[in-house]
Each structure stands twice: as C-alpha cells, then as structure tokens.
C-alpha cells in the first residue's frame, strides 16, 4: 500500500511539472438602450438591446487554454443572440423571430513548441482574440480605431512564428487555406484552384523589431483579414503595411501605421493611415485616434475620422467624454459628428452614457440621441 501511495505521489509530481493547470475565462458584451430617438421619426422613443459587434443582442464567450512544455491548445467559443425584426416597419404585421445564434468557434488551434522561446508552429482556425501579434488598436478606452484589422492573421491555416527570447525580434509566416472540406489528397480544394500558384497569394509575412525604451517597427505583406483566394482571378486583398511606435516617453502611447492595397494596378491602389496618440497623467487620460484614407488614382477626395476621448479616473468610477468626427468624402460638405459623455462603474464593467449623433453623410442629415448602458463581462 505504501508503494502505491508513493507511486501516485510521484506521478502527481511528474504531472505537475509536465502540465500546467488549464486557464479558463469568460468574456461578453451587450448594450441596453434605455431610451433613444431620431428626428426623422416623430413621437417615437426606442428601447431595446444591442447592437453588439456581430449583430443585435448579447455576445458571450468562453476562453480556455491547455498547455505543457511541448504543446498548447486554445479555443474560444462565442454565442451571439440573433434578432430578426418584422418586415413591415415594426407595426406588428410582419414576421419576427428571436433566438440564440449558433455557437461560433472563433478560435480553435494548437501550438507546437518545437524550440521554446524561438520556434513555434500554430495550426487551426484563428480569428479575433486569437493571434493578433501584428495588429494594433488605438488606445481610446471606448472609441478605438484600427486600420481595418491589418496585421491580424485569421481564418483556417498554419502560422510559423520565430521569436528569439530577449532579442526584440519577431517574425511570422501565415499560410491561409480554404476551410476544411471533403476534397483533399489528390483533389484540389475547389474546382479551378491551382494549389501552388494561387496559394502563394494566401501567404502573409510580417515581422517586428523592438528597441527597448526607444521604438518598435513592424512591417509585412499580409492579406486583408478574412480573405482567401479559392480559384482563378486576382483578389485585391494583399496589403503592404508598416508601423512605427515610439517608446521613449513614459506614459505616452504614440504610433502611426499605414497600408497600401489594390496592387493589381495604379488605378486600383489605395492607402489608409491610422494615428494613435495617448497620454496618461495620474487620473487623467487623453486619447486620440485618427484615420486618413487616400482613394485610387484619379480621385481628388480623401476620407478621414478622428476620435478624441478624455477620461478621469475617480477610483471605482471613471467619467469621460468622447467626440467623434467622420467624413467619407471630402468633396462634399457633409460629415458625421458625435458627442458622448459617460460614467463608468469600473468594478462592474458597466458604462452609462448619453449619446448625440448628427449624420449628414447621406442626402438628408439625421440626428440621433440615445441613453445606452454598456455591459462588459470579463472574468479570468
């Protein structure tokens, strides 16, 4: 009996060394609009849920990671509540359906640690909250911008990552593939899919180098997230991107990135730039995110957006103000602006706001107002 106890104890000790404890977490977000209205609809006050990122209603998810010194496995499942409004202007005469959407495996991939702190290979499906090593959001707490997710590797595929420890260098090659299906082995994924020539257009390469307390430079040739070439014809989703981040000033976040796409010809080429500038002074934070778009050759207009957010941390409560300006086409004297004061209950992931939006980008300017309550659930 004593030998059996000693054997079990030894196995437990070995297991504790070889396998780390799984990590679990939950994350979800939804918005409840307490009241809202618009000036092109008289005498109507709206109330309801949503929207979330992928549609109306809550988005809730479970994160889990299992790891040892050789392998790691990660999955993220999200469920989105789907609401389909009636087709007759909400007068009750049309069909309405409500119900939980399908569980969506946003991330489900394994990592092989061939050379720890140097070479890893990741295999599976990647998406948001998955493998975003080369993607950046501006630092605005509640009004961030990004360059259309450039630098994100998502979809089905294989990532080869090289990141030597303590060097500040990281590089990755991503081969994105069509989703798995019944056609494999000697049969191409899709009819007309040239498995070599076409697949080269689904390869993304990115790298970064960081000089501590000075700057970080990132660049790459990447596909627009979510795009994958599956047959004949040229998909104009390849991007060249570059980013530089300044790290030399304490409490200052400052970076700019740019991307060029539509590389099939000069008349298709477009550019977009994003700027992040943020400074935190004890309880006060000032955050600016800005975006500038340059259209294809032959057009003389530009598009731009700017989100300015000021927040003051009072401890358990943060008060803030968001100002937003957007212009899709500088040739027209029309734009969108918004003002959004808010109060956040930081310990409970709850933010209460008043939002006023005036959108003149269409033929007629429409003014909106709303009192939303944002709920974010994050437990790790």
Q: What is the pLDDT of residue 362?
A: 77
Long-range contacts of 336-345 (CB under 8 A, 24+ apart): 336/360, 336/361, 340/143, 342/142, 343/317, 343/318, 343/319, 344/317, 344/318, 344/319, 344/320, 345/316, 345/317
Q: What is the pLDDT of residue 364?
A: 82
pTM here is 0.83
Q: What is the pLDDT of residue 83?
A: 53
pLDDT digits (tens, 9 = 90+) for 99-155: 555 556 678 999 999 998 999 999 999 987 678 899 999 999 999 999 998 998 888
Positions of E strands within 151-283? 155-162, 169-177, 203-211, 215-223, 238-246, 252-261, 270-281
- Alpha-carbon span 205 to 208, nearest angstrom: 11
User: Which residues, other chains included, contact 285 with Cβ-Cβ below 8 Å and sequence gap of 6+?
Assistant: 141, 278, 279, 309, 310, 311, 312, 313
- Alpha-carbon span 272 to 226, nearest angstrom: 18
| Of 120, 147, 118, nearest in space to 134 by CA | 147
Q: What is the pLDDT of residue 336?
A: 92
CA distances from 71 to 127, 164, 314 (A): 20, 18, 43
| Residue that the structure tokens 């430079």 belong to | 217
| Residue that the structure tokens 């060249």 belong to | 240
| Of 130, 135, 112, nearest in space to 223 by CA | 135
Residue ranges in the chain whose pLDDT is less than 50: 1-17, 86-97, 182-192, 233-234
- Alpha-carbon span 287 to 280, nearest angstrom: 9
| Residue that the structure tokens 């602006």 belong to | 337
- Alpha-carbon span 39 to 370, nearest angstrom: 12
Q: What is the pLDDT of residue 179?
A: 64
Q: What is the pLDDT of residue 264?
A: 67
């Amino acid at each position: 009996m004593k030998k059996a106890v000693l054997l079990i104890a030894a196995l437990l000790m070995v297991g504790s060394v070889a396998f780390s404890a799984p990590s679990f977490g939950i994350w979800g977000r939804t918005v409840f609009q307490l009241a809202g209205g618009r000036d092109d609809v008289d005498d109507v006050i709206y109330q309801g849920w949503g929207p979330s990122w992928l549609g109306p209603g809550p988005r809730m998810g479970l994160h889990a990671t299992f790891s040892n010194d050789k392998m790691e496995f990660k999955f993220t499942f999200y469920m989105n509540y789907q609401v389909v409004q009636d087709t007759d202007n909400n007068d009750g005469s049309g069909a309405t359906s409500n119900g939980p959407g399908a569980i969506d495996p946003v991330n489900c991939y394994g990592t092989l640690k061939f050379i720890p702190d140097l070479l890893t290979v990741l295999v599976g499906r990647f998406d948001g909250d998955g493998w975003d090593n080369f993607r950046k959001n501006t630092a605005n707490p509640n009004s961030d911008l990004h360059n259309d997710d450039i630098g994100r590797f998502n979809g089905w595929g294989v990532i080869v990552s090289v990141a030597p420890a303590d060097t500040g260098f990281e590089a990755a090659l991503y081969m994105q593939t069509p989703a798995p299906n019944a056609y494999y082995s000697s049969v191409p994924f899709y009819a007309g899919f040239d498995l070599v020539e076409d697949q080269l257009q689904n390869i993304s390469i990115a790298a970064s180098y960081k000089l501590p307390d000075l700057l970080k430079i990132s660049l790459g040739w990447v596909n627009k997230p979510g795009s994958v070439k599956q047959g004949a014809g040229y998909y104009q989703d390849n991007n060249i991107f570059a980013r530089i981040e300044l790290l030399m000033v304490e409490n200052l976040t400052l970076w700019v990135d740019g991307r060029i796409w539509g590389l099939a010809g000069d008349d298709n080429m477009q550019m977009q730039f994003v700027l992040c500038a943020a400074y935190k002074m004890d309880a006060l934070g000032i955050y600016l995110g800005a975006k500038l778009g340059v259209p294809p050759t032959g057009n003389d207009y530009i598009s731009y957006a700017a989100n300015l957010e000021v927040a003051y941390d009072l401890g358990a409560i943060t008060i803030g103000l968001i100002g937003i300006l957007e212009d899709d086409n500088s040739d027209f004297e029309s734009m969108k602006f918004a003002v959004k004061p808010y109060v956040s209950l930081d310990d409970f992931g709850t933010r209460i706001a008043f939002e006023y939006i005036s959108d003149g980008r269409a033929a007629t300017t429409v003014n909106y107002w709303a009192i939303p309550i944002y709920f974010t659930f994050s437990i790790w």
